[in-house]
Amino acid sequence: MSAVLIRLSAVTKSYGSGQARLMALQGIDLEVAAGEFLAIMGPSGSGKSTAMNILGCLDTPGSGQYLFKGAHVESLSRDQRARLRRRFLGFVFQGFNLLPRTSAQENVELPLLYRGDSATVRRAGAARALQSVGLAGWEQHTPGELSGGQQQRVAIARAIVTAPAVVLADEPTGNLDTQRSHEIMALLVALNRDHGITVLMVTHEPDMAAYARRQVHFVDGRIARDEANAHPATAPAAPTETV
């Protein structure tokens, strides 16, 4: 059995004060093993996005513990959390978050630039990442020259270029049509299956969550259900496009 990579213990998070205080998380306990593919689901306001922000070291618990590879994340400084993100985490967002006047190659290089890698290392790493998502030959295209599905694949390449332990995907298919959504899920499944990357995905779409091997449902700041998916959906072959 894979070792526990992430552990949340009695994690709470609140916003505001007094009568305006909102308890976004109300004592969350969650374990994620290395190599899992986990879908986090729930209605708006259920706490799933707050949990994802804490898991991604973008926010900190109000109380409780967050352990990543045994390290107490809740005790880290802002700079230490940033280093943890750069070394171990990759992010994929619903809105792609690509620099609009920058090529696919340069967008994917950004995490390596922040890490201080040389130009040669950055170019080689970005080329490999783009090839792995089926976009070899598209390196010099800007986001405006790419379809929504291609933009999201560039975003996935950017997320994996540092060889992270975990990819956190926040509604990664929310801006895509059905076909492109399934193509993106094919890529996430392949990253998880073939490269052992742990995938944590927030989604409100049951047909996308069906690809995950485990589903955690949030309601009112609590985990209402945590269940294994014995028969994950089968993803189509990830596409490879030519210019």
Q: Tell me: the pLDDT tens digits for 107-139?
A: 999 999 988 999 999 999 999 999 999 999 999
Ranges of each domain in the chain: 35-62+77-228
Task: List pLDDT tens digits, range 15-61.
Answer: 988 878 889 999 999 999 999 999 999 999 999 999 999 999 999 99
In this structure, what token pair is assigned to residue 43? 């209605």
Residue 80 identity (one-letter amino acid):
Q
Q: Given this model, what pLDDT does residue 243 score?
A: 64
* 3 state SS of 217: strand
Name the band, by pLDDT with cuts 50, 70 and 90, for residue 182.
very high
Name the band, by pLDDT with cuts 50, 70 and 90, for residue 183.
very high
Give the separation between CA 141 and CA 42, rounded to whole angstroms.
36
Name the band, by pLDDT with cuts 50, 70 and 90, for residue 236.
low
Three-state secondary structure along 61-127? Answer: CCEEEEEECCEEHHHCCHHHHHHHHHHHEEEEECCCCCCCCCCHHHHHHHHHHHHCCCHHHHHHHHH
> Mean pLDDT throughout 200-218?
96
Q: Is the pTM of this model over 0.85?
A: yes
Task: List pLDDT tens digits, range 55-106.
Answer: 999 999 999 999 999 999 999 999 999 999 999 999 999 889 999 999 999 9
Q: Given this model, what pLDDT does residue 20 score?
A: 83
The pair phi, psi for residue 191, each rounded to 5°, is -60, -40
Q: Given this model, what pLDDT does residue 234 score?
A: 83
Q: Which fold has domain 35-62+77-228?
A: Rossmann fold (3.40.50)
With a pLDDT cut of 90, the percent of the chain lying above it is 87
In 161-239, which ranges are continuous DSSP H helix? 178-195, 206-209
Residue 112 identity (one-letter amino acid):
L
In this predicted structure, the answer to whether residue 1 has a pLDDT above a threshold of 60 is no
